[in-house]
Chains A and B, each alone.
Chain A
Amino acid sequence: MEEIPSIWRTEVWHALSIHLPIVLLSLASIAYCSGLFVTKNGWPQFIARFTFLALVLGVLSAWVSIYLGEEAYNVVVRTLCDPNVLQEHQWWAYFSVYVYSAATLLFMLFQYDVIARSRPLSIFLAVLLLTGFGGLVYSGHMGASVVYQQAGGTYVPSENCVEFE
């Protein structure tokens, strides 16, 4: 009889780890861009701190997930009917995390007064965060396609589900 595979196998670690950076980085983009239009009652300071924390934690966890994704790649790529989707997912993931890393660095330089905050640089940072967000959404879309259309990294139970009895 077939056995149910472990949830802790190599290709699943990426799926388990990826949702934290998606949430943190998405919120960082939304918060920072919203903050450009909010000026009253201490909100700018709160948004700046929130964005900083979300970016730092998001970028660190995103790099961990990229590493786990590379581990999963070797296992999954041979099982897919269209490996190009996985490669596209990988390309946009790297793109997005590099852009977010650059944005985080720039934000840190602002926060620690290494460079003076100016309107053009603030807008440049917003563009970086929106670009990263766009890449993140597209990469997520491709990742979902790998899982839900090609069953990448997933176990397909037998027709009569005997292994669950």
Chain B
Amino acid sequence: MMKKACFTTIIAVFGLVLMQSCGENKDTDVVPSGTYTGVAETVEPGEKEIYVRTSDDKLLELYFTDNTKLTKNGETVEFNALSEGVSVEVQVEKKGQKLDPIAVKIME
């Protein structure tokens, strides 16, 4: 009985972990090059990456590059100035199936 309970628990824990942590596949959109406004839904400082939910409900995944210009009140700021929930205006360039962020403006 004890062995059975132990086994069931282990399988359940593995199942839960499996469901939780298989990478980070979000259903993102690829849009034409241009400027979009929206909200930074997720900010991942480790990967210098943000997910922006646009006003027309598209989810843009943006990996910052060395050329990405991040500004706030007209001044250049560091990536850590971004936080989840802030409004942003992003200028992106579509290359293949990815979006390169050229400029990201943090709105007040």
> Taking beta carbons and an 8 Å cutoff, which residues of A are in contact with B?
73-74, 77-78, 80-84, 87-88, 90-95, 98-99, 101-102, 105-106, 109, 114-116
Name the one of A83, A90, A92 contacting B98, with C-beta atoms under 8 angstroms. Answer: A83
Check B65–A78 contact: CB distance below 8 A. Answer: yes
CB interface residues, B 1-60, toward A, < 8 Å: 3-4, 6-7, 10-11, 14, 17-18, 21-25, 28, 46-47
A83 and B97 form a contact (CB under 8 A): yes
Residues of B near any A CB (own CB < 8 A):
3-4, 6-7, 10-11, 14, 17-18, 21-25, 28, 46-47, 61, 63, 65, 95-98
- Contact, CB under 8 Å: B14 / A102: yes
A116 CA to B39 CA, complexed, in Å: 54
* A81 CA / B25 CA spacing, docked (Å): 17
Which chain B residues border A92 with CB–CB below 8 Å?
22
Chain B, Cβ-Cβ closest to A82? B97
Instruction: Say whether chain B's binding surface is mostly helix, strand, loop, or mixed.
Output: mixed
Query: Can you identify 6 A-B contacts, CB atoms within 8 angstroms?
Result: A77-B63, A81-B98, A82-B97, A90-B24, A105-B14, A106-B11
* A91 CA / B17 CA spacing, docked (Å): 13
Specify which of B22, B28, B65 is in contact with A94 (CB 8 Å cutoff): B22
Decide yes or no: A82 and B96 within 8 Å by CB, A94-B22, A105-B14 being known contacts. yes
Beta-carbon nearest neighbor of B95 in chain A: A81
A91 touches B7 (CB 8 A): no
Which of chain B's residues has its CB closest to A124's CB? B11
